[in-house]
Amino acid sequence: MAKTFGYKALAKAVSRWCGRPSTFFLAVGVIAVWIVTGPIFGFSDTWQLVINTGTTIVTFLMVFLIQNTQNRDTQAIQLKLDELIRSTKGAHNALLDLEELDEAALEQFRARYEALARDSRLGVAAGRSDTDTPDP
């Protein structure tokens, strides 16, 4: 069966390649070659434009590649957290898919958990344990 190589697979492959130490050293090598050729080209404006243009293009493309990678990683982490919530006895299933809520709903949850943390710290100061399993 032939493996399709779409834009998502390409972005994933490029992000993996860009994250390798050998790729970093390749970039350092390119800079070194550019520096060494400076005297050959008389440190001309064209010589400077080559590196400026190259780094601008690479930076522009890397912004989108990094965002793609971050989005994919965040989605995977959220799914893993959702599974942990779903499979943990006593966990609140209302927290599943929390990242999809609007700011007001998130603020309500945040305030609730800040109050829980504050009460737990007061309890610890009073000698109580701060571990428990909430009632389902």
What are 108-134's pLDDT values in tens digits? 999 999 998 999 999 899 998 877 766
End-to-end CA distance of the chain: 48
Q: What is the DSSP string of 34-79?
A: HHHHTTTTTT-HHHHHHHHHHHHHHHHHHHHHHHHHHHHHHHHHHH
Question: If you average pLDDT over residues 81-102, what whole number do you get?
Answer: 89
Which residue matches tokens 């190589």? 5
Handedness of CA 41, 46, 50, 51 (dihedral sign): positive
Domains of the chain, by residue range, sit at 7-95, 97-127
Chain centre to alpha carbon of residue 32: 30
pLDDT of residue 134: 60
pTM for this one? 0.67
Question: If you average pLDDT over residues 37-56, what whole number do you get?
Answer: 96
